[in-house]
Amino acid sequence: MPTLIPVLAAAVVLLSAPQPPTRRSPGPGLDSLRARIERRVAQVPGAIAGIAYHELATGDTLFVNADDSFHAASTMKVPVMIELFRRIDAGGLSLDQGILLVNRFASIVDHSPYALDPGDDSDSAAYALVGSRVPVRELIDHMITRSSNLATNALIELVGADRANATAHALGARNIRVLRGVEDIKAFDAGQNNTTTARDLQLLLEAIETGRAASRASCDEMRDILLRQEFNGEIPAGLPPGTRVAHKTGFITGVLHDAAIVYPNGRKPYVLVVLTRDIKDQSVARQLIADISRLVYEHAVPSGAKTQ
């Protein structure tokens, strides 16, 4: 009997010792995620995609052609919004300040006048406001949630494309170029276009999420505006229904983009930017972005992970 005492004592020690935590099975590694994304892009002949993914919870980062320059299309409206809110923080503007809305702008090439065509604008309803004084708050909302070109050009005239550009660079988006408003055909023909990279937009969205783009209150306001985005066929389409997404899309012929902060339930968000070009069929580009979004979500939130 005495010989059993050490054995029993050892068993008690083993049972009472702290046990290693149960580890969640990891999702696909970043290398695997990269391979899956590259295979999916390769399924679209001639397609070029720039991708930036940053996981705020774990620090996971994946870049694919993230420093390649793309025509920015309407994603350039994000740095314009940031500059507006910084100006508001400084007291130079008010969200309730009324701006006389006109449909007449000057080309950056020779200052010749041009007007926007409502038929080419995703927010044709905004043209009913021409001739009236519209609050800055309402113009920002039109610019982001409906991607109004008219509101965008009015706001660029208010704060200056050069200031929006300088602010973006100061926040780390050093390769973005915000040169002009929308539909300046003379500038387009001269190659003077707004451009961006996936990394640039990732940095700007992260600056909004973390409160570095402007004051905390202004960053919260910007995030709320981005959450009201009405065009949700790209990154949101690859996510589980109900997932909150603060994002900005952009498209012109052969170009389709989406830049997003994704908020999976019960955990910190991640930033995902997908830029595409050289895809003739917009529906094909849209499906590509949605599929990349799905692949990233499956990496960030592996099947079986608990969410609240």
Location of structure tokens 């949101």: 236
For the segment 141-145, the average pLDDT, to the nearest whole number, is 98
For the chain, helix (H) and strand (E) counts, in that order, are 10, 11
pLDDT band at 303 (very low <50, low <70, confident <90, very high): confident
Instruction: Mention every residue, 6+ apart, whose C-beta is less than 8 A from residue 81.
Output: 140, 143, 144, 222, 225
Q: Residue 305's pLDDT is what?
A: 54
Tell me the CA end-to-end span of the chain in Å, nearest whole number. Answer: 53
Provide, rounded to the nearest whole percent, the portion of the chain with pLDDT above 70. Answer: 89
CB distance 258 to 77 below 8 Å: no
Q: Residue 164's pLDDT is what?
A: 98
Q: Which of 194, 185, 183 is CA-nearest to residue 103?
A: 183
Express each pLDDT in 261-300 by its tens digit. 999 998 999 999 999 999 999 999 999 999 999 999 999 9
Express each pLDDT in 43-101 by its tens digit. 999 999 999 999 998 899 999 999 999 999 999 999 999 999 999 999 999 999 999 99
Asked if pLDDT for residue 139 goes beyond 70, the answer is yes
CB distance 205 to 257 below 8 Å: no
Question: Residue type for 53, please?
Answer: Y
Express each pLDDT in 203-252 by its tens digit. 999 999 999 999 999 999 999 999 999 999 999 999 999 999 999 999 99
DSSP-H helix ranges across 60-148: 77-89, 136-145
- How many Å apart are CA 213 and CA 58, to the nearest integer? 22
Q: Residue 18's pLDDT is what?
A: 36
Q: Which of 19-28, 38-47, 188-197 has the lowest mean pLDDT?
A: 19-28
Location of structure tokens 């892009």: 41
Q: Which of 57, 40, 47, 77 is CA-nearest to residue 300?
A: 57
Q: Which superfamily, per CATH, for 27-300?
A: DD-peptidase/beta-lactamase superfamily (3.40.710.10)
Asked if pLDDT for residue 8 goes beyond 70, the answer is no
- How many Å apart are CA 181 and CA 183, to the nearest integer? 7
Strands annotated E in 32-185: 48-55, 61-64, 70-71, 98-100, 105-106, 113-114, 133-135
